[in-house]
Structure 1
Amino acid sequence: MARRKSQTSATGANMDSLLDALTNVVGILVIVLVAVQLSSQEAARRMEEMIAQIDPAEQERIKQEAEDSEAKLEEMKLALQAESDKDKIDPDKLLAMLQEDIAAAELKAKKDLLAAEAAEKAAEEKKLAAEKLRRSLTAQLAELEAKEKKFTVEKEDLLIKLENMPTLNAPPPKEVRPPTPKDVPRKSDGNPLLSKKEILVSGGKVIPKVIPEVFKNQVKNYVNNIVSQSKIEAEEGRYITDEKKAIKLIEDFNKDPLQNEFFELKLVRNGTSINVEMIPKENCGEDPEQAVKGIFNKIFGDKLLTRQWYLSYLVEPDSFETYMAMRKVTDRYGYFAGWTIINPGNNRTQQFNVGYNVGAKPPPRTPGPPSARKPKAVKGVLD
């Protein structure tokens, strides 16, 4: 029992010691806390004093520096992020991109090389052309100089010959037959005994303005075929009452006209009459020697016609000698004739009706009393 009592006493002593130690620790902590509190209050007081002493401008500067530092920090973060993203690029994709760039650069280089070669070639061609032109001009200049020298020599030679040439007599005068107007003979009833037939003398050729009946029939048959194919109705066989169809007939003929060796043929409307216009081609007509044996002779060679026609020569200024040669022939045939000077290009065309008119058939004329007027004489056309 005594032993247990001893143990209890020891335990109580230990507890007292522990309590004393805790008391000391708590006391120390309280002292430290008080000291810290005092230090915090002192630090806060000092900071308030320092803040009160800081200038507003200085505060703004510090604030701006803080913002700048924050912005730089953000930039550094972005740069680090970009650098990190670069590190993540697929090498194969990067290689493909580089290969595309290289291929594009090579293609551009080839194009530039081709363009440079083309420009160089063009420049060389221009240079060769300029050299060729220079040589040609030089040769022409030399040729002209030679011709000029030759001309000068020939001119001097001709001048010498002209000085030594004897005086020549004037050539014999050419036959000139000026118009001496005479009237066309008349019948007992006053009508002209003869009808006029014109002969164009142009460019040294003779073109009789007489249309053979065979040719007229060829043209009329050609027109009749167009009328039949186009189913154009004509009153009494010659009056086309539908003006549109008449115009179509003219257009169809002119698209594909009847061909002739000496004349261009063109269908025209002359009032209500549909005519074919004959325009001489360049090869139309005959020179005097051909005319005596050719078409001219076939038309005018029949002596019976000398009692029906008189000839009216339409003479262009450059063809007077041709007229004189033909006039001798027709005088020998026995024709009455006369002539008129015309301007070049005048009186070249002639027309005749192809058998159709535009519009309805006109009403018959009421016969009136016989005219008391005498027919007019054809005056001043013969020489």
Structure 2
Amino acid sequence: MAKRKGAEEDEGLDSLLDTMFNVVGILIIVLVVVQLGMQESVKQIANSMRVDPLALEQLIKDLEEAQKEKLKVESDLKELNPDEQDLEALIKRLQSESIAKEAILKSQQGALDKALIAQKDALEMAKKAEANKEQREKLSSELNSMIDQIAKLEATLDDTPPRAQKPAKIVNLPDPRPAPEGIKEATFLCVGNQVYPIIDEPLRDAARKRTEYQAERGMRKYVSDPKQGIDAEKFVKDFNDRPMTDDYFRISMYAAGRDPRLRLEPKEDQGFKIAEIQNPRSRFRRLLSQVDPTKFYFKFIVLPDSYEAYVETRHVTDEMGYLAGWTPVDAKWTYTTWVGGKVKFGPEPPPPDPNAPKPPPKPAGPKPNVLD
């Protein structure tokens, strides 16, 4: 039995060896085949690869350029010194530059905004100028017309011979003093460079008689309530519907409180002009000659437009021996006078208190200076 066992072991080793040699042989064969295939491939590759000289030269140039770029980058990196401190300083410098550029940009933005606003204003002004173009052209035309007119007037002035100088007028300095005792006032109004004699006593008498007659005839019309008295508005209107006149004035009535008063309005071109005043035989001289210089003095009321007429009149009155004085008034001044009589407007005032103390009499003041 033991012998059989050894024989079986020997047979197993032989089979193993056969198998191993078979595998090794197959591997050798495969190696040889692979080696032969690789050599063939290398030969084929070597035979198929051909180097282009121009392409090789271009590759060399590109390599040199790349080397130069590499050196430049390395140089720039060396200049930057990319250490930690240098990088921090670089960051700070870049931040400060950024802030400065931002400030510049803001200022430029502000300037741009201002420029835009100015442009907008300019456009609006241009629109307004275009809208006012017609008016400007009209004003320009008027200005040119005025310039032409001035030129014509200057030419006329150059051609006008010089006027003879008038002799100087002698004007006496005023010497204010009161009028003599017992002498009365005769009034003249100087307006429109003319002289108007005011003969008011006959006017007042005629107005007083007419108002009393009007009140008596129209009592029912003007007095609706006896306590309220005469209605001033109705009464004055009826009086002025038939105005009074004389040679020199138009007379109208108005109410001053309870009293009727007269307003005298000069008639145009009915006064005495300077030429007539200077004429020794004029109607003005004849009128003055009828006044007694021992019983009357002349009072002249002078408006601003009539000083020349007043001066000429004073020359005449002084030559004729009359005392005179004058009162300057403003341009809106109007001569008025009272009417008097029984006619009063409105309700009666309350009676005075009989027990009220009487005020002391006022002392007589100095006589007014009416002559000069």
TM-score interval, normalised by the smaller of the two chains: 0.3 to 0.5
Q: TM-score, normalization: structure 1?
A: 0.45
Q: TM-score, normalised by structure 2?
A: 0.46
